[in-house]
Amino acid sequence: MAATKRALGLLLLVLLSGPAWAEDSKSVMLKWSQLTEDQRKVLSPLSKEWDTLRPWQREKMLDIARDYPKMNAKQQARVQQRLNDWSRMTPFERENARKKYQQFQSLPPEKQEELRKKWREYQSLPEAQREGLRREQPDLYDANELDN
Amino acid sequence: MATAQELSNFLAEVERRAYRQTAYAVRDEHAALDIVQDAMLKLAEKYGARPAAEFPMLFQRILQNTMRDFWRRQKVRNLWTSLLSSFGGHSADDDEHDPLETLETGQRSEDEPEAQLERSQTIAIIERAIEKLPARQREAFLMRYWEDMDVAETAAAMGCSEGSVKTHCSRAVHALAATLQHYGFNQQGLKKPGAGS
Amino acid sequence: MNQQESTVKLVVQALDASVENLDDDVIRRLATARERAVSAMQPQWQAAGHAGVFHSLGNYVLHHRLMTSAALLLGALALGFIVTQHVIGQHQLEQGDAFLLGSELPPEAYLDKGFDTWLQQNAR
């Protein structure tokens, strides 16, 4: 009787952990050394930190490698240059950027160009001035709301 | 000690409410998903060995902490959304858009369009009122009345005294009642679509 | 029923209704997150459970038979999972991070609070 119970328990264990193992066999928990040569080439800026990435982060990065061949040389160069910073952002920052990128894309071309121009102007400001601008923004959520 | 099945059942039971709760707090549905994901993982990794009866309190505590990390990083809200709309962009998830739109598209048009509309308007107004509550009041209210946690559990999850939980709850209820009154609800309860006129 | 109770009741009904209206995509992602979390629990559990099961059983025949059926089950599950993942993966094709990173405006532009202020001050 006890044996049957235990057997059932084991079965349950297998059932529940099944997806995780299957996932390993798919791609999500792939170690750096297990990536294909093409994937490694695209993701090379991440070689050192790859094995520390969370499963879903790896998934997203592999998606980048998948879409990479569809892009032109200029875009590819930008991807390479930005991958590192991208992987070090918090999940929230990344989601925030994704959302705003979608909004950006929904703008008419001339507005997009206007924003790009503004960004270039902003980039040309001295760092001290940019820092000043960053501090000027009002807090939307004041500390009281959190700590009372 | 909880089994994997117990953990799975618990999460399945609370995940959708946890997601809505988080979305009310962070007002960003993508971030809400991330936060709930993170909280689930933390519960499993760090507290998987605890008795299942403690899961509601632990999970809420983790959820609150994960949200708080989110606040810290997001203290200053990005103004792009409003800026872009002033630039003339149309965005699907613009914060300022009419809350009714999302709800209506989420519903199939059925036999009672008018009752349906009224219902979804009521839901939208109440959701907006929940979002507008101060964070602690919202947390306390949702845990006590939506998650059905008792005062002691809620206090443990929020890391405050039972007295504060009661205060937060009572203020939340007053604020919500005022909003409902403002919109002229007769407080008869929410009509189910198709459940008679 | 006093006013407070009826407020609570109405609000809770509305909240319940909002959960019924969740996107299929959200529901699916929550389920995936749950599966991940549950499997993340396994190591400790397995370590504790494993020794117990086999040492006290002491029955290698049963062990063997269990492992065979477990392997079969696992195979079926793996197949199912891969198929599901494939379907989900295809849904996400359009909004890739690659294109965000490859676009002229860098990700920082979306996150830099100073740039927000700058835009605000220079809007029209």
In this predicted model, what pLDDT tens digit does every residue of A20-58 receive, in sequence order? 333 333 445 788 999 999 999 999 999 888 887 777 778
Half-sphere exposure of A114 (CA within 13 A, CB side): 15
pLDDT at site B7? 93
Q: Is residue B18 part of a domain?
A: yes
Residue B91 maps to a domain: no
Find, in chain B, the residue whose alpha carbon is nearest to that of C47: B49
Contact C39, B48 (CB under 8 A): no
Residues B175-196: pLDDT tens digits?
A: 999 988 888 776 555 655 544 4
Q: Report pLDDT for A140.
A: 43
Chain C interface includes B187 (CB < 8 A): yes
Taking contacts as CB-CB distances below 8 angstroms, the residues of chain B near C12 are: 145-146
Q: Has residue A60 got a pLDDT over 50?
A: yes
Q: Between A13, A114, A139, which is nearest B75 by CB?
A: A139
Which of these ranges, A1-15, B61-75, B161-175, has the smallest mean pLDDT? A1-15
Residues of chain C with C-beta less than 8 angstroms from the C-beta of A100: 110
Question: Residue C6: what pLDDT?
Answer: 86
End residue of a domain, out of B19, B40, B74: B74
Is B157 among the domain residues? yes
Give the CATH number of the domain where residue B105 resides: 1.10.10.10
Q: Which residue has the tokens 């003339």?
A: B88
Complex confidence, ipTM: 0.73
Of B44-58, C10-24, C45-59, C76-90, which range is least confident? C45-59
pLDDT for residue C53 is more than 60: no
Domain residues for the domain of B150 are 100-182
Q: Taking CB atoms and an 8 Å cut-off, how many pairs form between chains A and C? A: 170
Residues B177, B111 share a domain: yes
Among B74, B89, B116, identify where a domain stops: B74
Domain-located, residue B88 = no
Of residues C59, C73, C101, nearest to A15 (C-beta): C73
C88 touches chain A (CB under 8 A): no
* Chain segment B18-39, per-residue pLDDT in tens: 999 999 988 888 889 999 999 9
Q: Give the distance from residue C60's alpha carbon to the nearest chain B alpha carbon, in angstroms.
A: 25
Q: Spell out the residues 6+ positions from residue B109 whose beta carbon is closer than 8 angstroms to its own.
A: B116
Alpha carbon distance B164, C2 (integer Å):
23
User: From the CA of A33, how many Å to the nearest CA of chain C?
Assistant: 22
**Percent over 90 (pLDDT), chain B:** 37
pLDDT band at C117 (very low <50, low <70, confident <90, very high): confident
Mean pLDDT over each residue of chain C, to the nearest integer? 71
pLDDT for B148 equals 87
- Residue B113: is its pLDDT beyond 60? yes
Q: How far apart are the first and last CA of chain B?
A: 49
Q: How far apart are CA A40 and CA A47, in angstroms?
A: 8
Residue C72 — very low, low, confident or very high, per pLDDT cuts 50/70/90? low
Give me the mean pLDDT over the A97-112 stretch.
Answer: 83
CB B126 within 8 A of CB C10: yes
SS (H, E, C) chain A: CHHHHHHHHHHHHHHHHHHHHHHHHHCCCCCHHHCCHHHHHHCHHHCCCHHHCCHHHHHHHHHHHHHHHHCCHHHHHHHHHHHHHHHHCCHHHHHHHHHHHHHHHCCCHHHHHHHHHHHHHHHHCCHHHHHHHHHHCCCCCCHHHHHC
| pLDDT bucket at A136, cuts 50 / 70 / 90 | confident
Q: Which region among A143-147, B123-127, B136-140, B158-162 has the lowest average model confidence (pLDDT)? A: A143-147
Q: Assess whether pLDDT exceeds 60 at residue C62.
A: no
User: For the residues B46-73, what does the mean pLDDT come to?
Assistant: 87
Residue type, C119: L
pLDDT at B43 exceeding the cut of 50: yes
Is residue B62 predicted with pLDDT exceeding 90? Answer: yes
Residue A111 distance to chain C (closest CA, Å):
12
Q: How far is CA B145 from CA B127, B138, B150, C9, in A?
A: 15, 10, 9, 9
Q: Is A14 in Cβ contact with C101 (below 8 Å)?
A: no
Which residue, B5, A18, A9, B1, is CA-closest to C53? Answer: A9
* Shared-domain flag, residues B111 and B42: no
Domain count, chain B: 2
DSSP per-residue string spanning chain C:
--HHHHHHHHHHHHHHHHHHT--HHHHHHHHHHHHHHHHHHHHHHHHHHHHHHHHHH--HHHHHHHHHHHHHHHHHHHHHHHHHHHHHHHHTSSS-HHHHHHSSS-HHHHH-HHHHHHHHHH--
Establish if B93 belongs to a structural domain: no
